[in-house]
Chain A
Amino acid sequence: MKPYHFFFLLMGALTLTSCNEFLKEDPKEILPASDTFENDNDLYLNGVAALYLNVGGFNDSEGLQGTRRGVWDLNTFTTDEAIVPTRGTDWLDGGFWQGLFTHNWGTENSAINDTWSYLYRSILRCNVSLERMKNYTETTGTDVSGYRDEVRALRALFYFYALDLYGRVPVFTSPDPDNDQLSPRPRSEVFDFVRRELLETVPRLARDRSNHVGTYYSRMTQGVGYFLLAKLALNAEVYCHDNWTSTPRPDGKQIIWHIGDTTCDTWQAVSYFCDRLYQLGYRLEDHFENNFLVKNENSIENVFTIPMDKQLYTNQFTNMFRSRHYNHAAAIGLNGENGPCATIEALKAFGLGTQAQDARFNLTYYAGPVNDLKGNPVLLDDGTPLIYEPWQVKLDLSSSPYEKTAGARMKKYAIDLVATKDGNQSDNDIVLFRYADALLMQAEALLRDMGPNETSTALVNQVRTRAGMPALDNVTLDDLLDERLRELAWEGWRRNDMVRYGTFNRAYTDHPADPDNHTIVFPIPAIFLNLTAAPQNPGY
């Protein structure tokens, strides 16, 4: 080889090397994922705090509440508590809302599929965080078990919603699950997993309040964990029912819990967890409406909330925006979509127009004429007053004289007059868990355990008298279901309650009885089933 040949070869090699250097991507506006877990602060911020961004949201089907077509809608507009009537072309939307109300949804429903993706995206991100924490501990020797517990508890929260909505779901703790791990598990196994994770981590979480501004604001703390455990225990019969379309439901007394050194059945477990909430200092607010104020961060009753601050967070709350009549919204300087309202069944439960009308009706709904900020009546475009007609509601209002005005509208949250994004970015924290619910859960567990009893009656009456309603005698399970509707209307629990009570598939106004009970869970997205060749939920 002549020297100059060698020279050219060398230059050639250098050329290729420098070309590869030239082609290397050098991002400036985003960071490699590995750079975000370099110290304890980063670890907390990007490994823990970032996961809470998944609790709320602004895109459709994301967030546990506040957005459209997500967890809350699936839990609310499929029930006898709230309805989205078709109002001419408004809210027709290709039959989506009618389908929810009449339980006619297929396996290609994008809201159902997107909600699944949202829940599993949240779970996967928890898994990624846990994996990175493990690596962090291995490389730096720092103990981050407190963060690990918090993330595991948060992951259990998302698994809880997946279990409740979809029944048979995959359970995995790896950030890269393989095909075996992706195979959906029987419902009782999912239940066991969520229970195990919570029982192990919750006692080690902070005892601080999650809904109060401070170090633990909007985070998983003991209170949130115990509330979730109480929900899990209360619905244990449903969650342990592996073949819900074909076999009888298991008996709650046979579902055994081991909590620390205590062994008890599931009804006793509910009581145990609700007691823990009391011990942590959760109490009823003096006034029902205090929980829903614009600045509701000081509530002693709220347990878990989605933080809202229009200057800071992107979380949105569309429930009020969607419900208000256009002119009503305009009168308070916001926008409205004139949609969802209370069902006939809800009106009956509140005793609307009767001597015994519940005091919470006017705190929960707008009905009849409404006023603007100056106290003047809100007018329709033709100059006549806007009058909401609660009893005129029906599934399809098209061509009805009450097409645009039928239905009692959502009022529960105080109006934030400087809300932005059409009124969807307000400062009221969105209430996910509330102590009044815990009292009612405890009452229900006792009723299911021993039948009508004084403690249950007393617990329910605590909630009733706080609302200014007379105490009931000898509360029954049916009384309790109505009470739950009155106290917890629009809070996203109605589907869960109806399934547990076995009333989800019964006939009610505009909802003919379902031929079977397969709709108590939603179908698993087909694209996911294709991957694992797993069977669809029964009945779909």
Chain B
Amino acid sequence: MKQRLTATAIALAACLAALAGEDSPTAVDSVAPDTPNLITEKMMNDKQVTNPLEAINGRVAGLTITRGNNGVAAMQAVRVRGTTSLTGGNDPLIIIDGVMGDLRTLSSVYPADIESFNVLKDATQTAQYGSRGASGVIEVTTKKGATGRATVTYNGSYGFSRVAKNLKMLDADGYRRAVDERGLMLIDLGANTNWQRVLEQTGWQHDHHLAFAGGGKDNGYRVALGFMDHNGVIVHEKMRNFTSNMSMYQNMFHERLKVELGMFGNVLKENTAIYDTQKTFYSAAAFNPTFPAAKNATGGYDGFTYANQINHPLALMDSRTADKTTHLSTHARLTFNAGHGLSVSAFGAYSHNEVQRDQYLPTTIWANGQAYRGTDKTESLLGNITLNYKVTTGLHNVDLLALAEAQRDTYSGFCTTTTNFNNNDLGFYTIQAGALSLWEGTRSYRHRPTMTAFMGRATWEYAGRYAITATARADGSSKFAASHKWGFFPSISGAWTLSREAFMRRATWLDNLKLTAGVGLAGNQGGIDNYASMYMVQPMGVVPVGVNMAVALAEARNANPYLKWEVRRTFNVGLEASLLKGRLLANVTYYTSKTRDMLYNYTVPTPPFTYGTLLANLGAMSNSGAEFSLGITPVATRDWELNINANLTYQHNKLLSLSGNYHGYDITAPQYVAIASLNGAGFHGGNNNIVYQIVGQPLGVFYLPHCTGLVDDGNGNLEYAIADLDGNGVIDIEDGKDRRVCGQAVPKLLLGSNISLRFRQWDLSVQINGAFGHKVYNGTALTYMNMESLPGYNVLAEAPRHRIADQTATDYWLERGDYANIDYVTIGWNVPLPKGKAVSRLRLSLTVNNLATITGYSGLTPMINSSNVNATLGVDDKRSYPVSRSCALGVAITF
């Protein structure tokens, strides 16, 4: 009774705090069995990382980090144990010192400020974060001050990146010859321009980071300032990031009360001339190579109107997109230790994130020009109160915890667009230089979702051998229907340390052997819109009302008054072992999960539904996988040390159903739902869909006509011969006809490995990551091999030899996507320093990133989007950045 009442009191306090707008939540001390997924600084990738995620890439089994191949501030797609939801909310939750953030927030943290990462994967581990942690959690702990001598640390790196690989298109002579041979109109301006090179530059970069830390007996502080300045490999691409991170703590009343405070802020400025990645790289590859890389005599760019899907690449480079992100977050925690194992902790955090986007598309690439300015702002308030009671009686350890929390996010923003510019000089600084403001060009919004939760957790441990943790959690979200706002998600897990059993005593070579298992439910609501359960109207357009004009309101989507939580049931079992005094570490985990009541914008028929999609809870999906990790230290002497770490993740996903009964209507999903298709000249609509979502198959499969080979088309050219798969005597490549499933876009097997070797003060580290078992559609080759694209679009240098005059999308260009990539090689030297001098540590290092890719894939790179279920999944379609390689010299000094 007492426990329950206390929990109620906590809940009350949290709600009152939330209502008063002084929220607080998150982060409970983990009492779960020690986690094999904790990555301390020592285990992080020690190359000169600029994005924190790179520090753990390949280091944790089951954690997939796909580097966004898109410029200086590349965003990564991060998945913990695969994609489990169709709607979104697949990104893991990022917790930085207890404050919730997202991948973007994390990427703005200076890596040198990070003390450790903790990756939480199964239901019991993520339970404390509830639905927000449904797709896994990455906890980031930043460095704190500590008792002892004050230190000053400087980290710096200086380097550059350069393009290592481009597409080999026809040069000007080859282009002239090919156009002439085919009797086409040749527009020859006499130059020989490699447009890809024209857009490229050497991207110089330098980073600096300064940290001060210190502390007394009862307090500590740390202040860090960082600055990054990166130029991309594409001209005008630039990223600058200023960060500051401050933290302090104070113990009071004989350590009865601990106060912790922290503040993090950064300003990130990104500039680019790329407003449409595909357009830029499509133009750079395919634009007429006889055109000079300069303006013409009249100050404009020579156009080539036959190539109306692409632009003069230099004209594209005249566009400007500037994003400025301002982020501030603060948090505070009070922990009161009441004695006898009882403690109470209150936590509050506020964060403010504002992205200002300015964009100008000049008249040379956008009819009449267009300027855009807009701001998107996110404010988040969260607070929680936890009550913790720990007691040890004999061999029994009991740990009880109650948590209440509330969170409120406010999203708001506005933007305006003007068009019809007379000159391109003013750009987005003076949007009134545009003559026309379209009605649909100005918008604003504001919405404020809330969440609240109560959780109780009990852990019982006996004799250091057996541990059981049970968690019960109720989550409430504002986004669901009035009667379905709450979900209940219990979980239970256990651990058995076999190595401490009497019967294992004789195995002295075994340091630790532990069996763990857990089952649980997790709720998900990530990625869904607000108000989806309500019948709401919004401005739809201007209508004449007599001689006046008025804005009419109407429903813009189907409402679902029954909307509820998506639930994922997970099961995991694992074995971890440590042998030979830690020389050999091994870990095996198997997991399965099944997502039910899957939130998704289902395709529904009109009528009875007004719109073609409905956010509902109908389908189901399953995920399963196995994770293996191995760490070996074959040599460890005073002079020599060799560490080999490798992890393998096998993942399997299956879309079980997209159908169901929605309140009287039997909704049957279309059998074939296209996810990704080809774009560009000749690819508008029609049968150009490549990757599909098909029930009974993994998410994202290739569903294509089968090409039996190249055959003569009667004009001396070759075309793709298509098999009559359905045997009806007619070739019809529409869905459901002559097509078949022929591979998946998501890798089946992922590899992360690191080899590090130390010899006295010298060290060498090599990171190799890989992905296997998936395919990549080479839409780039399909497009650029088609001789019919001439003269408007240039073709690959090898294209004339192959004589293909066809761009029907078949499995001809479906290739294996397997690769192993040498992410980096670092050589470091810890300069020996005499003891007692001002400088206590000096390290120099040299890193080469993205050294080589071992692959059979014929295109630029197989490392394209292979995890995000969106319009680019699995399709290499003229949008790949050139492959670049970077080199950096690093210095770390501690005073």
Interface set of A (CB-CB < 8 Å, partner B): 5, 8, 11-12, 14-15, 18-36, 44-46, 49-50, 52-53, 69, 88-96, 99, 104, 106, 108-111, 114, 116-117, 120-121, 123-125, 128, 170, 172, 176-179, 182, 213-215, 217-218, 307, 310-314, 325-327, 330, 334-338, 380-382, 398-399, 401, 404, 418, 420-423, 425, 525-528, 530-531
Contacts and interface: CB of A to CB of B under 8 A. Distances in A.
18 contacts: A8-B5, A19-B15, A23-B452, A27-B447, A27-B536, A28-B446, A34-B535, A46-B537, A90-B792, A94-B809, A106-B732, A121-B610, A125-B555, A170-B607, A182-B607, A214-B547, A528-B605, A530-B668
A96 B685 contact: yes
Interface string B438-471: 1110001111111110000000000000000000
Given A32-B535, A334-B367, A531 B667 contact: yes
A22 B15 contact: yes
Contact of A53 (B303, B543, B683, B733): B543
Interface stretch (B6-14, B154-162, B757-765): B6-14
B682 interface: yes
Interface stretch (B71-79, B223-231, B270-278, B473-481): B473-481
A398 B791 CA distance: 12
A326 B667 CA distance: 45
Given A31-B553, A125-B610, A401-B183, A310 B541 contact: no
A11 B610 contact: no
A8 B807 CA distance: 73
Interface residues of B, number: 106
B472 to A, nearest CB: 16
A395 to B, nearest CB: 15
Nearest to A15: B12
B19 interface: yes
A399 B735 CA distance: 29
A26 B9 CA distance: 27
A12 B4 CA distance: 10
Nearest to B659: A530
A325 B605 CA distance: 38
B684 A215 contact: no
Given A93-B683, A527-B668, 11 more contacts: A8-B8, A29-B444, A46-B537, A50-B541, A88-B682, A89-B789, A94-B684, A94-B687, A172-B607, A420-B367, A528-B607
Given A15-B12, A15-B15, A28-B446, A124 B606 contact: yes
B419 A528 contact: no
Nearest to B443: A29
Interface in B527-575: 530-531, 534-538, 540-547, 549-550, 552-555
A401 B184 CA distance: 7
B187 A124 contact: no
B385 interface: no
A398 B789 CA distance: 10
Contacts of A120: 606-607
Contacts of B793: 89
A446 B788 CA distance: 52
B605 A30 contact: no
B279 to A, nearest CB: 15
A23 B477 contact: yes
Interface stretch (B250-258, B304-312, B619-627, B868-876): B304-312
B612 interface: yes
Contacts of B447: 27-29
Closest 6 CB pairs of A and B: A94-B686, A89-B682, A50-B552, A326-B305, A92-B682, A96-B686
Given A172-B607, A326-B308, A89 B681 contact: yes
Contacts of B737: 106
Contact of A94 (B183, B408, B546, B683): B683
A60 to B, nearest CB: 8
Contacts of A95: 686-687, 733
Contacts of A35: 537
Contacts of A398: 788, 805
Given A8-B5, A30-B537, A52 B543 contact: yes
Contact of B684 (A29, A93, A177, A526): A93
B681 to A, nearest CB: 4
Contacts of B732: 104, 106
Contact of A89 (B5, B540, B604, B792): B792
A382 B544 CA distance: 47
A399 B182 contact: yes
Given A36-B537, A311-B436, A330-B305, A110 B682 contact: no
Contacts of B18: 22
Interface in B797-847: 805, 807-809
> For chain B, what secondary structure do more than half of its interface residues adopt (helix, strand, loop), or is it mixed?
loop
Given A36-B537, A89-B807, A49 B789 contact: no
Contacts of B808: 94
Contact of B8 (A12, A29, A217): A12
A529 to B, nearest CB: 9
Nearest to B677: A94
B542 A312 contact: yes
Contact of A46 (B536, B552, B736): B552
Contact of A49 (B420, B451, B552): B552
Given A25-B479, A93-B682, A214 B546 contact: yes
Contacts of A108: 672, 734-736
A107 to B, nearest CB: 8
Given A8-B5, A45-B550, A531-B665, A22 B19 contact: yes
Given A69-B685, A177-B607, A381-B187, A53 B476 contact: no
B851 interface: no
B789 A23 contact: no
B772 interface: no
Contacts of B445: 29
A117 B605 CA distance: 8
Contact of A121 (B547, B552, B611, B734): B611
B485 interface: yes
Contacts of A46: 537, 552-554
Nearest to B448: A26
Given A46-B552, A530-B605, A531-B667, A33 B536 contact: yes
B477 A50 contact: no
Contacts of B687: 94-95
Contacts of B664: 178-179
Contacts of A5: 5
A8 B7 CA distance: 10
B438 A23 contact: no
A233 to B, nearest CB: 27
B497 interface: no
A425 B541 CA distance: 15
User: Max chain B CB contacts within 10 Å: which of A217, A423, A527?
Assistant: A527
A422 B390 CA distance: 70
Given A12-B12, A89-B792, A182-B607, A218 B544 contact: yes
A200 to B, nearest CB: 23
A494 to B, nearest CB: 22
Contacts of A172: 607
Contacts of A325: 305
A52 B543 CA distance: 8
B368 A420 contact: yes
Given A20-B485, A23-B485, A182-B608, A381 B306 contact: yes
Nearest to B363: A333
A420 B436 contact: yes
B786 A111 contact: no
B715 interface: yes
B670 interface: yes
A27 B789 CA distance: 51
Contact of B536 (A30, A326, A421): A30
B420 A88 contact: no
A525 to B, nearest CB: 7
Nearest to B611: A121
B665 A179 contact: yes
